C-alpha cells in the first residue's frame, strides 16, 4: 500500500473562490425557488427581511450523532453566486416561466442580486462539528428572495458531505473497536487504517471526489482517487488489480527481470531467487503427483515478481485471483522471502473475496510460521499488512471485530461512498422568521414541526476538565447568552440554567455547565466570507477537530454501534413558550360534529 | 405544475466533446491503474494488445433487468482523454509514485497516449438498451496500458447512470400499475407522470444532474433541477414550498392584489372573490364558536391568492403547511373557485406529508363534491392534479397501487436519486484477452468467475411479430454470427441454435429465433467517436427506445415487482468449452493430506 503526504491537505475555506465542481452555480436549484422568488418580486415582498435555518431531523445510520461538513464549498458558492446572461436567456425561454415579466430576470436575477447578497449574513456551525437533530447548522439572514435562491444549492452542498463524513467516522470507529481475539497476531493494539476505494461505484464523478474528501475528514487515512488526491491534497493509495495478475500467463516474461540486490550490491535476476523457494516448498511436499513447477499459478507468480521488481519498497500483492491460500499466499511468500534476501521489506497482501476473517487469520498464521522457522525473517514478516477490501460495510466491520481475524487495514468502497445503509441525510431548510415575525411550519407529523424564531445554540460542557459535552442549548438570539456556572465546586442553583425539551412538556432539567461554547459563528457578511482563521482552515485541521470531539470529548455512549444514547438538544424556557404559543395560534381548530 | 419543452432534449452523443462535469478527466482514476501501467511500461508490456470487458453480475433492486446508460459521457471522456502538464507534475511529486522513472510520466502519460488511443477500439451496447448480468456492455480493445487507464473512469461513468435509469423506469412502471380502485376518481385510466425532485438530497451536484438526466431517460417526465433543464433540455417543473406559505402572515399583503378577469375583461381585486367563498363556507357551518374570518389559516390563504395572481395558469398549491384537510384543501377550493370565475383553470394541489392515499382520496372527493354542487365547475375541477411527494419509493408506489387513492402524479426525490434500495450497480471491468490469449479471473465465489475471450452478444427474438426477446446469446467474436431460423413456420432443427448456460452443465436448449440482432456496435475507433447516427442520438430518442423495449418488447415477467423471472443469457457450445477448459487449466489443484 503506497501512501503519500508531501502535499499536506490545504484546501482552505475561502482560498479558492470557485466551487470545485463546475455544476455548482446559482442555476443548480429547484424551479420552485424561481417561481416563489418571482411571485414575491411581483407582489413587492422579495426584499423583505427573512431568516432561514438549515438543519436535519434525525441522525443517520441509526446512530446518535452527525458530523457537519460542506461549509467550505458552500462559502465558495456564496462568493461566486450569480446568474449569467446565458442562464437568463434560458430562464426567459422556458415554458415554466414564460408568462413572467422580463424585468424580473433582468432587473432582479441578473442585476439585482448584489444588493440582496450585500445584506446577507450567514451564521454557521464550524466545519467538522459533531451536531444533533433540530440544531440549526446554518442560519441565513437576508431577504426573502436570496433566502429562496440559496436553499436547494446549500442543501445539496451540505447533505452529502455531512453524510459521508459521518459514515466514514463510524467505519473508522468500528474498524478500531477493541478486538482482544486479534491480539494473537500483533504485539500491541495498533490502529487499523481505513482507505477509501469507492471511485468506480460512487454516484457520479463528484460523488466520488466528495466522498474522498469527507472520508478523509471523517478519519480515513487516504483514497485511491488520484483526482481527489491532487485537488484536496489527500494521501493516495493503491497497488494492483486482478487484471494485472491476469495479464501474466507464464514465467517467461519475467525470467530476465533484475532487481538491485542491496546486500550483494548488484543487479540480479529476481526470479532465480523466487524459484528457489518454490522448488524448496515443492520438494518439502510429500505429494508424488504434483509437478514442482506448478504448485502455484505461474502467471500469478510472474505478476508478483514483476510488481516486486517495479515497486520493491511497496510490494503489496492481491492474492485472490486464482486461489487465495493454495496459490496467492504461497506465491507472495516466495516473493517476500526473495525481497527480504535482496534487502527490501515486503509490504503485505490484499484480500478481495471469500471469508475475510478466516483468510486473513490464515495469512497471519503463515507469516508467523515463516518467522518461527527462520527467526532472521522477523523484520520482514512481522509487520506485513493484510488489507481486506470486499464489500465491507459498518455491519461487516462490527462482525469482524467480534471474530478472530488478521486484518490490519481496510479498503472500503461502495458502502462507504454510497452510504448504502442510508444514502441521504435529509437536511431541510425552513423559514423561521419573516419581517421580524417568527414563522412555524406545522405538520400532521410531529417530527416535521419547526422551531420558530432566530435562534442561537450553545454547547454546555461539564466534568473536571470541562471537556465533556452535557447537552446543546437553544435559545432566541435576543436572549442573554448562557454562561458557565459561577462556582464549579459549589453547584448552586444560582448558576444553574433551566432547559426544556422542545416538545415533551414534562422533560425539564437544570444544568450547571463548567464551560459554554457558542456553536455558530458569522461566516459570510456583506458579500464576503468572514475568514478570521484562514491559515488553519484546512482539511487536516478539520480532520483533527473531528477526531478530538469523537475520541476526547463525547462519550462512546453516543458513538457506539449498539443502542447509542440520545444526546439532548434542549431549549430555553422563553423559546419553549414562544414555540408553543405560536403553534397554538397557527394551528387551525378542527371542527367535529 | 409547470412543465417546459421549448428546447427539445438534444444532448447528443459526440456533439459536445467535453464531459459535462469538469471533474471527469484522465486523472479521475484509481492510483493502482497508474502503478500497474507503470509496472507494465517498466517491463515492456504496456503496448501489448489487451481486451477488457465492462459488465455487471447482478440486476439491481431485486429485479431482473437493467438499463444501460452513460455511453454518451464515456465517449466524451474518450475524445478528451489526456493528462495535462499540471497532472504530470502532481504525479511526479506524489510519494506513491516517487521511485518511478520520470520517462514514464513524460514519454508515456504525457506524450505517448495518442498512440495508445489511436489503436483503441471500443464496442458498446446502445445507450438505453435493456441488458442483463454477465453480458459485456462495453468491450475495450487496445493496449494493456490504455485498458488500465480507462477502467475506473468508465466504471464511474456507467455505474450510476445505468442504476438511476433502471430505478426511474421501475418507479414509472409501479406508478402506472393497474389500480382499479382508483378509477372512482378519473373517467379513464390516465398515465400518472413522475417528476424528479431530488436535487437537494442527491450525492453531490453531479449526482443530482446525472439523476435528472437519466430519470428522464428512464421515463420520468421532468425535473425540478433548473441546471439539468438547461444543460440537457429536460422539461422543468415546480411551484412553491412551505416557506412560501409561511412567508405570508395575514391577508393584508394581498388585499389589494388584482388579477385580470377574462370574463369581465378588467383587473379586479382577487381576494374579494376568494373571501366570498370563505364567508359562504363559514356561514354554512353551524358552529357558533368559530369566527368566520379564521376557519382556515389566513397566511396560507394569502399565499395561495398571491400564487394564483402571479401564476394564474399554473396554480398548483402545496396544502399541508398547517393542516391538509381543515385548512389547505379548503383554502385551495376558495382560490380555485375564484380562478374559475376569472376565466382560468386551476391546476391542483400537492401533498407532502401524512397518509397520502387517504388525503388524496379526500381531495378528489372534495373536488367531486364541488362539481356535484355546481355542475358548471366541471371544466375547472375535473382534471385537477393531485401530486404526492413525501418520501416516495418503489415499495410505496406498489403499496399505493393496491389501495384506494386519488393521486394523479408523483414527485420523487431522495429515494429515486440516491437509489436507496440499492445505491450502487456494481459494474466491473475485467481483462478477457491478452496478447491473443484468453484470460480468466477465478474466485472462491462462483459469481465472480469471468467468461474469457473476445465475445459478441446477439439478442434472439421470436413471436409472430419478431418482437419478443427470447434470450441473449454470447459467442466468441471469431465464431460465425448466428442467424434467424430459415423457416419460421416450420421450425426444423436445421435452423435451431444450441445454447448453453455458462455454468450449469445440464442447462441446454435449442432456439429458433425469427430475428437476431447484434447488441454491440463500434463506437470509438482510431481516436474518434464513430457516429453513424448523429442527429438521432438525443435524450428523447433514448427515452423512447427505453419505453419501447419495456412496454412493447419484453414481457412484464422480467419487469414486474413480485417474483420477476430471470432472462437467459446463454453461451455458444464453443464458448462453453473454451471457458471450462481454461478454468480447469488455471485453477490450482488443492492438495489435501
Task: Give pLDDT tens digits for A244-281.
Answer: 998 998 999 999 999 999 999 999 999 999 999 999 99
In chain A, which among 502-541 make CB contacts under 8 A with chain B? none
Bridge-based pairing of strands B316-318 and B348-351 is parallel
CB atoms B247 and A144 under 8 Å:
yes
> What is the percent of chain A with per-residue pLDDT over 70, rounded to a whole number?
90
Other residues' Cβ atoms within 10 Å of the Cβ of residue A107: 12
Mean pLDDT on A545-571: 95
Alpha-carbon gap, residue B11 to B214, rounded angstroms: 12
Helix (H, G, I), strand (E, B) or coil at B66: strand
Interface mutation target, options B37, B85, B197, B205, chain A, most CBs of A under 10 Å: B205
Q: Pick the residue from chain B with its C-alpha nearest to A4.
A: B95
CB atoms B207 and A209 under 8 Å:
no
Q: Which pLDDT score is estimated for B536?
A: 47
Integer angstrom CA distances of residue B328 from B290, B297, B350, B549: 17, 8, 10, 42
- Whether B143 has its CB under 8 Å from any CB of chain A: the answer is no
- Whether A146 has its CB under 8 Å from any CB of chain B: the answer is no
Provide the shortest C-alpha distance from residue B100 to chain A (in Å).
Answer: 8
CB atoms A23 and B205 under 8 Å:
yes
Provide the terminal-to-terminal Cα distance of chain B, rounded to the nearest Å.
73
**Of A455-469, A501-515, B14-28, the least confident:** B14-28
Asked if A221 and A194 count as a contact pair (C-beta separation under 8 A), the reply is: yes
- Whether A262 has its CB under 8 Å from any CB of chain B: the answer is no
CB atoms B206 and A201 under 8 Å:
no
Does an H or E element contain B65, and which? none
- Whether B389 has its CB under 8 Å from any CB of chain A: the answer is no
Model pLDDT for residues B531-574, shown as the tens digit of each residue: 756 544 589 999 999 999 999 999 899 999 999 999 999 999 99
- Whether B139 has its CB under 8 Å from any CB of chain A: the answer is no
Q: Which residues pair with A125 in a beta bridge?
A: A520
Q: Is B355 exposed, middle or buried (0-12, 13-18, 19+ CB in 10 A)?
A: middle
Alpha-carbon gap, residue A544 to A472, rounded angstroms: 22
Asked if A553 and A468 count as a contact pair (C-beta separation under 8 A), the reply is: yes
The set of cell numbers assigned to A446 is: 410531529
For residue A283, is pLDDT > 90? Answer: no
User: Which residues on chain B are in Cβ contact (under 8 Å) with A425?
Assistant: 201
Alpha-carbon gap, residue A131 to A163, rounded angstroms: 12
CA B313 from centre of chain: 30
For residue A491, is pLDDT > 70? Answer: no
* A525 Cβ contact list (under 8 Å, min separation 6): A120, A121, A122
- Whether A335 has its CB under 8 Å from any CB of chain B: the answer is no
CB atoms B326 and A27 under 8 Å:
no
CB atoms A160 and B208 under 8 Å:
no
Q: Is B568 exposed, middle or buried (0-12, 13-18, 19+ CB in 10 A)?
A: middle
- Whether B311 has its CB under 8 Å from any CB of chain A: the answer is yes
Model pLDDT for residues A338-361, shown as the tens digit of each residue: 999 999 999 999 999 999 999 999
Provide the shortest C-alpha distance from residue B494 to chain A (in Å).
Answer: 39
Integer angstrom CA distances of residue A63 from A60, A558, B40, B468: 6, 7, 46, 49
Work out the pLDDT band at A587, boundaries 50, 70, 90: confident
CB atoms A39 and B239 under 8 Å:
no
Q: Pick the residue from chain A with its C-alpha nearest to B99.
A: A311
Angle at A580 between CA A576 and CA A584, to 5 degrees: 175
Model pLDDT for residues A296-317, shown as the tens digit of each residue: 999 999 999 999 999 999 999 9
Residue labelled with grid coordinates 465464431: B479
In chain A, which among 450-489 make CB contacts under 8 A with chain B? none
CB atoms A224 and B253 under 8 Å:
no
CB atoms A35 and B435 under 8 Å:
no
CB atoms B423 and A418 under 8 Å:
yes
Q: Pick the residue from chain A with its C-alpha nearest to B253.
A: A43
Interface mutation target, options B5, B9, B31, B419, chain A, most CBs of A under 10 Å: B31
Provide the shortest C-alpha distance from residue B492 to chain A (in Å).
Answer: 43
CB atoms B42 and A309 under 8 Å:
yes
Among B160, B209, B420, select the one facing A23 at the smallest CB separation: B209
In chain B, which among 160-179 make CB contacts under 8 A with chain A? 160
Size of interface A-B (CB pairs under 8 A): 456
The set of cell numbers assigned to B280 is: 359562504
Asked if B361 and B405 count as a contact pair (C-beta separation under 8 A), the reply is: yes
* ipTM for the predicted complex: 0.91
Secondary structure letter of residue A30 according to DSSP: B
Q: Of A557, A487, A556, which Cα lies nearest the Cα of A176?
A: A556
Alpha-carbon gap, residue A142 to A144, rounded angstroms: 7
Q: Select the more confidently predicted residue: B16 or A377.
A: A377
Model pLDDT for residues A193-227, shown as the tens digit of each residue: 999 999 999 999 989 999 999 999 999 999 999 99
Work out the pLDDT band at A365, boundaries 50, 70, 90: very high
- Whether B284 has its CB under 8 Å from any CB of chain A: the answer is no
Among B241, B322, B441, select the one facing A242 at the smallest CB separation: B441
Among A21, A155, A205, select the one facing B200 at the smallest CB separation: A155
Interface mutation target, options A69, A72, A203, chain B, most CBs of B under 10 Å: A203
Q: Select the more confidently predicted residue: A424 or A288.
A: A424
User: Which residues on chain B are in Cβ contact (under 8 Å) with A305?
Assistant: none
Q: What single string gives the DSSP state of each residue in B34-61?
A: HHHHHHHHHTT-TTSEEEEEEE-SS-ST
CB atoms B246 and A431 under 8 Å:
yes
Work out the pLDDT band at A362, boundaries 50, 70, 90: very high
CB atoms B225 and A30 under 8 Å:
yes
Give the HSE-up count for residue A79: Cα atoms under 13 Å, Cβ half-sphere.
Answer: 19
CB atoms A201 and B90 under 8 Å:
no
Give the HSE-up count for residue B104: Cα atoms under 13 Å, Cβ half-sphere.
Answer: 22
CB atoms B249 and A207 under 8 Å:
no
Interface mutation target, options B96, B222, B254, chain A, most CBs of A under 10 Å: B96
Asked if B544 and B16 count as a contact pair (C-beta separation under 8 A), the reply is: no
- Whether A436 has its CB under 8 Å from any CB of chain B: the answer is no
Q: What single string gives the DSSP state of each residue in B543-591?
A: HHHHHHIIIIIS-HHHH-SSSPPPPPEEE-HHHHHHHHHHHHHHSPPPP
pTM confidence score? 0.93
Q: Which pLDDT score is estimated for A290?
A: 47
Provide the shortest C-alpha distance from residue B181 to chain A (in Å).
Answer: 25
Q: Which residues pair with B249 in a beta bridge?
A: none
Query: Per this entry, what is the length of chain A?
Result: 593
- Whether B251 has its CB under 8 Å from any CB of chain A: the answer is no
Residues of chain B with pLDDT under 50: 1-15, 183-184, 187, 288-293, 488, 490-493, 535-536
The set of cell numbers assigned to B409 is: 402524479
Amino acid at each position: 500500500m503506497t501512501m503519500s503526504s508531501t502535499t499536506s491537505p490545504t484546501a482552505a475555506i475561502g482560498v479558492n473562490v470557485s466551487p470545485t465542481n463546475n455544476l455548482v452555480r446559482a442555476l443548480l436549484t429547484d424551479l420552485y425557488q424561481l417561481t416563489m422568488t418571482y411571485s414575491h418580486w411581483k407582489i413587492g415582498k422579495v426584499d423583505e427581511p427573512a431568516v432561514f435555518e438549515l438543519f436535519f431531523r434525525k441522525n443517520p445510520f441509526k446512530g446518535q450523532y452527525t458530523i457537519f461538513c460542506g461549509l467550505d464549498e458552500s462559502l465558495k458558492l456564496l462568493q461566486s453566486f450569480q446568474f449569467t446572461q446565458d442562464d437568463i436567456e434560458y430562464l426567459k425561454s422556458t415554458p415554466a416561466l414564460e408568462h413572467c415579466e422580463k424585468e424580473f430576470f433582468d432587473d432582479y436575477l441578473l442585476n439585482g442580486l448584489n444588493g440582496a447578497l450585500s445584506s446577507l449574513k450567514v451564521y454557521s456551525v464550524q466545519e467538522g462539528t459533531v451536531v444533533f437533530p433540530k440544531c440549526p447548522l446554518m442560519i441565513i439572514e437576508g431577504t426573502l428572495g436570496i433566502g429562496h435562491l440559496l436553499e436547494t444549492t446549500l442543501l445539496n452542498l451540505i447533505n452529502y458531505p455531512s453524510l459521508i463524513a459521518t459514515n466514514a467516522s463510524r467505519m473508522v470507529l468500528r474498524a478500531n473497536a477493541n478486538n482482544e481475539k486479534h491480539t494473537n497476531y500483533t504485539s500491541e493494539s495498533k490502529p487499523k487504517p481505513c482507505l477509501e476505494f469507492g471511485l468506480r461505484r460512487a454516484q457520479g464523478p463528484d460523488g466520488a471526489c466528495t466522498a474522498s474528501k469527507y472520508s478523509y475528514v471523517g478519519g480515513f487515512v487516504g483514497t485511491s482517487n488520484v483526482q481527489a488526491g491532487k485537488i484536496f491534497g489527500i494521501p493516495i493509495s493503491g497497488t494492483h488489480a486482478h487484471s494485472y495478475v491476469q495479464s501474466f500467463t507464464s514465467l517467461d516474461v519475467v525470467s530476465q527481470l533484475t532487481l538491485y540486490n542491496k546486500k550483494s550490491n548488484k543487479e540480479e535476476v529476481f526470479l532465480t531467487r523466487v524459484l528457489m523457494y518454490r522448488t524448496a516448498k515443492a520438494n518439502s511436499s510429500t505429494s508424488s503427483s504434483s509437478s514442482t513447477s506448478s504448485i502455484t499459478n505461474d502467471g500469478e507468480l510472474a505478476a508478483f515478481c514483476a510488481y516486486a521488481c517495479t515497486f520493491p519498497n511497496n510490494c503489496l500483492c492481491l492474492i485472490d485471483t486464482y486461489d487465495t491460500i493454495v496459490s496467492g499466499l504461497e506465491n507472495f511468500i516466495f516473493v517476500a522471502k526473495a525481497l527480504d534476501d535482496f534487502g527490501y521489506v515486503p509490504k503485505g497482501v490484499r484480500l478481495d473475496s471469500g471469508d475475510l476473517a478466516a483468510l486473513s487469520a490464515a495469512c497471519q498464521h503463515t507469516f508467523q510460521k515463516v518467522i518461527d522457522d527462520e527467526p532472521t525473517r522477523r523484520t520482514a514478516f512481522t509487520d506485513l499488512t493484510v488489507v481486506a477490501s470486499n464489500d465491507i460495510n459498518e455491519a461487516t466491520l462490527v462482525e469482524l471485530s467480534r471474530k478472530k481475524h488478521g486484518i490490519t487495514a481496510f479498503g472500503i468502497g461502495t458502502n462507504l461512498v454510497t452510504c448504502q445503509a442510508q444514502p441521504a441525510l435529509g437536511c431541510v431548510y425552513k423559514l423561521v422568521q419573516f419581517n421580524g415575525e417568527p414563522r412555524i411550519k406545522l405538520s400532521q407529523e410531529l417530527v416535521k414541526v419547526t422551531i420558530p424564531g432566530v435562534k442561537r445554540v450553545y454547547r454546555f460542557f461539564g466534568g473536571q476538565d470541562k471537556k465533556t459535552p452535557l447537552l446543546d442549548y437553544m435559545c432566541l438570539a435576543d436572549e442573554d447568552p448562557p454562561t458557565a456556572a459561577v462556582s464549579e465546586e459549589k453547584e448552586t442553583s444560582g448558576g444553574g440554567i433551566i432547559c426544556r425539551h422542545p416538545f415533551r412538556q414534562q422533560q425539564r432539567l437544570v444544568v450547571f455547565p463548567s464551560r459554554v461554547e457558542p456553536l455558530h459563528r458569522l461566516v459570510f457578511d456583506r458579500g464576503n466570507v468572514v475568514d478570521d482563521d484562514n491559515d488553519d482552515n484546512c482539511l487536516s485541521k478539520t480532520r483533527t477537530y473531528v477526531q478530538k470531539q469523537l475520541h476526547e470529548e463525547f462519550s462512546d455512549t453516543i458513538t457506539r454501534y449498539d443502542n447509542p444514547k440520545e444526546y439532548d438538544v434542549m431549549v430555553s424556557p422563553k423559546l419553549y413558550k414562544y414555540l408553543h404559543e405560536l403553534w397554538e395560534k397557527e394551528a387551525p381548530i378542527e371542527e367535529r360534529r
